[in-house]
Amino acid sequence: MTLETAGHSKRYIAERASSILVVEEAVRPGLEGRIGKREIASALTQRRSGAGAGARKEFSAAARSWFRFLGLYTEGRSGERPSAALLSAFEAALLSEGRYSPVTVRSSLPPIAAFLDWSDRQGNCLDEITPNHVQDFLAAQTLAGWSRRTVANAGRSLRMFFCFAERRGWSKTGLSRTIQTGPVLRRGTSPSGPPWKEVRRMLKALDPSVPSECRARAILFLASIYGLRRCELARLKLDDFDWGQGTLTIRRAKRGRVQTFPIQPEVGDAIIRYLREVRPHTNHRHVFLTLHRPHRPAENLGPSMRKVMRATGAFQRDWGLHALRHACATELLRRGTSLQGIALFLGHRDLSSVSIYARSDERALRRVADFDLSGLV
């Protein structure tokens, strides 16, 4: 697809053409004529060392899109790394098995690649890896600045990888079971989320007569009332709303589960107003589109929603979109919903993912009721 057919303005196309001319002059192919991050970074160092952050970002984006269009761009570094074949086999196997969603598989690759590269520099073959090697790697990344959550996610990714490697006979049997994948919360804490009264205050502060706030209102209602993840919001389509039956179908990000919920009146009103008054008339079937041309599915909702949430002045601190999912779970628990009910409501497979919310209100564990968030706003 060209920039013109994608709907970009003539001015944008002219600016990108100018950038491409600079890119063609500066970037030199690597091994086998391929171009990757290393070649682009080298060109930036040699030709644009004095450029600002914005200019460097524009140069990199233009280079990636241009060489990807020509079929010359490789997503990793040019040249074959020792881990490349292993990662390709791992990715293909997990996608074919269908046990994990494509999003989960793709997000697991970077920490696995980092570990394999680190292990290669240590001179260790795959069948020589021990639990100590994995722990040393995670400890090194912690010292390098990885957060507790990132380290925990890396542990889960490595456990997935070594389960696969053990089945292939590439690594020691039982290694995967030794890798810690527990929650990253500090003792005595619970997942971060705003108090429900602040969530209600935020929703009431949004003005539906303002197009950007009307769209944000629909998104934030869904995130608050149903605890939807950012990617679940982005993938919602018009066909997911059955207005005749009054139901909403959600395709969960993890494991591809499909759930159907009744449309709460407040949510339905916010969605209908957005569809009637704000949503552009296009052939796209996604519910949430960008407000400015060229209209396309709004995939990166996080930054814009954080900005809107901050502007309402309803919160004591700065919160992101995912915090509303935590607020939803905590409020369900406070109102007496069982942990099993919360797990089902949020699309979790088991109770381990939601048991951490019990710390926020232990008295709620003595009450069991069906989940119902109607009338809360």
Which residues are tagged catalytic?
A: 229, 254, 322, 325, 348, 357
What number of CA atoms fall less than 13 Å from residue 356's CA on the CB side? Answer: 16
Q: CA dihedral in degrees (308, 183, 102, 223; nearest 10)?
A: -30
How many residues are listed for the chain in this entry? Answer: 377
Q: Of 94, 162, 159, 151, which is closest to residue 128 (Cα–Cα)?
A: 162
How many Å is the maximal CA-CA distance in the chain?
69
E strands within the chain? 241-242, 247-251, 258-262
Considering only CA atoms, which of 188, 200, 141, 158 is closest in space to residue 324?
Answer: 200
Q: Could you tell me the two tokens for 112? A: 């696995």
Task: Report helix angle 53-69 to 10-26, nearest 10.
Answer: 90
Contact 211, 282 (CB under 8 A): no
The helix (run of H) or strand (run of E) holding residue 307 is helix 301-311
Which DSSP string corresponds to 227-273? ---HHHHHT-BGGGEETTTTEEEEE-SSTT-EEEEE--HHHHHHHHH
Reduced to 3 states (helix: H, G, I; strand: E, B; else coil), residue 362 is helix
- Asked if residues 113 and 88 have their Cβ atoms less than 8 Å apart, the reply is no
247 beta partners = 242, 262
Retrieve residue 232's tokens: 């679940």
Distance CA 19, CA 2 (A): 16
| 39 vs 16: CA distance, rounded Å | 20
Residues 343/353, Cβ–Cβ less than 8 Å? yes
Write out the DSSP string of 339-358: HHHHHHHHT-SSGGGTGGGG
